[in-house]
Amino acid sequence: MLCENCGENEANVKYTQIINGAKKEMKLCEHCANELGIGEMDFSMPISLSSFLGEFFENEEEDFLPEFTKTKELRCEQCGMTYDEFTHTGKFGCANCYNTFSDKIDAILKNLHVANRHVGRRGKIVNSTLDKANIKKEEQKQERKQDNEIYKIGLLKKDLKQAIKEERYEDAAHIRDEIKKLEK
92-134: pLDDT as tens digits: 889 898 888 888 887 777 777 767 676 666 655 566 777 778 8
What confidence category does residue 57 fall into, taking pLDDT thresholds of 50, 70 and 90?
Answer: very low
Please tell me the distance from the alpha carbon of residue 168 to that of residue 162, in angstroms, as a whole number. Answer: 9
pLDDT for the residue numbered 172: 92
Compute the Cα dihedral for 104, 108, 110, 116 and give only its sign: negative
**SS3 assignment, position 10:** strand
Q: What is the pTM of this model?
A: 0.28
Our count of domains for the chain comes to 3
pLDDT for the residue numbered 127: 65
Mean pLDDT in residue range 142-157: 87
Angle between helices 169-183 and 120-165 (to 10 degrees): 160
Q: Flag whether 125 is in a domain.
A: no
Kindly report the number of other CB atoms within 10 A of residue 2's CB atom: 12
114 and 140 fall within a common domain: no
Q: Flag whether 48 is in a domain.
A: no
pLDDT for the residue numbered 56: 45
114 and 147 fall within a common domain: no
In terms of C-beta density within 10 A (0-12 exposed, 13-18 middle, 19 or more buried), how is residue 11 classed? buried
Cα 171 to chain centroid, rounded: 62
Q: What is the pLDDT of residues 24-52, one digit of tens each?
A: 888 888 888 888 777 665 555 555 545 54
Q: To the nearest whole percent, how much of the chain has pLDDT over 70?
A: 73
What confidence category does residue 67 fall into, taking pLDDT thresholds of 50, 70 and 90?
Answer: very low
Q: Please, which residues have CB within 8 angstroms of residue 116's CB and are 6 or more apart in sequence?
A: 105, 106, 109, 110
Q: Flag whether 91 is in a domain.
A: yes
The residue segments making up the domain with residue 85 are 66-118
Q: Flag whether 127 is in a domain.
A: no
What confidence category does residue 174 fall into, taking pLDDT thresholds of 50, 70 and 90?
Answer: very high
Task: Say yes or no to pLDDT of 173 above 90.
Answer: yes
Q: What is the mean pLDDT of the chain?
A: 76
Q: Flag whether 51 is in a domain.
A: no
pLDDT for the residue numbered 54: 53
What confidence category does residue 165 fall into, taking pLDDT thresholds of 50, 70 and 90?
Answer: very high
Residue type, 24: K
Picking from 23, 2, 21, the residue whose alpha carbon sits closest to that of residue 12 is 2
Please tell me the distance from the alpha carbon of residue 107 to that of residue 24, in angstroms, as a whole number. Answer: 36
DSSP structural state of residue 11: P
Task: Say yes or no to pLDDT of 90 above 90.
Answer: no
Q: Flag whether 9 is in a domain.
A: yes
Q: Flag whether 169 is in a domain.
A: yes
Q: Flag whether 81 is in a domain.
A: yes
DSSP structural state of residue 93: S
